[in-house]
Amino acid sequence: MKILCVADETDSLVYSPSSKRLFGDCDFVISAGDLPLRYYDFIMTIMGKQLYYVYGNHNLEQFKENVLKVQTPATNAFNSPLTSHYSGELIDGKCIYDKKRDLIIMGLGGSMLYNYGLSQYSEKQMKWRINKLVPRLLYNKQKYGRYVDILVTHAPVLGMGDGVDVCHRGFECFKTFIDKYKPKYLLHGHVHLFDENENRFYKYGETTIINVYKSFVLDDTSLGRQNG
């Protein structure tokens, strides 16, 4: 399975008429946030691929409206998708099962709290967001034999490619999550990689952590259902 992952800045190779030729063999697209929603529209229109996304701490069009939707009881149902008015499916604060690809994907967007802006969370608040999804994770384990395959965050894991300033600090509770629920991948953005030789990859337990800044193609033939 091949997944086009994007975050933080538009990529001229993706944001071009050639994107279908370059990335057409990708099964779907994941965004770790901080991109304009029109970028998602373009990707889905040109490439014709499903796109899942979480919010970052910038480009927060319609954040408040969608957060209110997430907090309604109906969105806690296991099979009630939440979408924005734009292309793509918002998975921020959700855990979804992609039946077509046999993949369980969970989203926890936002950054560490630094100036009380939108989509910012304290460590305690992020733990609370995780705890809200525990019933769904337990359901997944019982029904599918695993809790989650891919965790999509915006912020990194504490001490694994995060920044020294409060804004770019990672979350400690992501480590606790990995310890307990063992996703195969954690995909994040938020920390910009200005040098192509900078490390994108970290390993924590059984989980591979990848900073998907700008764009990254995740190619794993053991992941999910192939050519679903």
CA pseudo-torsion sign 95, 120, 42, 213: negative
In the block, tokens 């990335």 appear at: 23
Residue 52 near residue 152 (C-beta atoms within 8 A): yes
What pLDDT does 69 receive? 62
What pLDDT does 227 receive? 59
C-alpha–C-alpha distance, residues 182 and 198, integer Å: 25
Three-class SS string for the chain?
A: CEEEEEECCCCCCCCCCCHHHHHCCCCEEEECCCCCHHHHHHHHHHHCCCEEECCCCCCCCCHHHHHHHHCCHHHHCCCCCCECCCCCEECECEEEEECCCCEEEEEECCEECCCCCCCEECHHHHHHHHHHCHHHHHHHHHHHCCCCCEEEECCCECCECCCCCCCCCCECHHHHHHHHHCCCEEEECCCCCCCCCCCCEEEECCEEEEECCEEEEEECCCCCCCCC
Residue 163 near residue 157 (C-beta atoms within 8 A): no
What pLDDT does 73 receive? 42
What pLDDT does 71 receive? 53
What pLDDT does 98 receive? 96
What pLDDT does 66 receive? 75
What pLDDT does 87 receive? 66
What pLDDT does 68 receive? 59
Residue 52: how many CB atoms within 10 A of its CB? 23
What pLDDT does 70 receive? 55
Residue 52 near residue 31 (C-beta atoms within 8 A): yes
C-alpha–C-alpha distance, residues 166 and 68, integer Å: 27
Residue 75 near residue 69 (C-beta atoms within 8 A): yes
Q: How do the pLDDT tens digits run along the chain, 228 residues long? A: 999 999 999 999 999 999 999 999 999 999 999 999 999 999 999 999 999 999 999 999 888 777 756 554 434 333 333 444 456 999 999 999 999 999 999 999 999 999 999 999 999 999 999 999 999 999 999 999 999 999 999 999 999 999 999 999 999 999 999 999 999 999 999 999 988 788 999 999 999 999 999 999 999 999 988 755
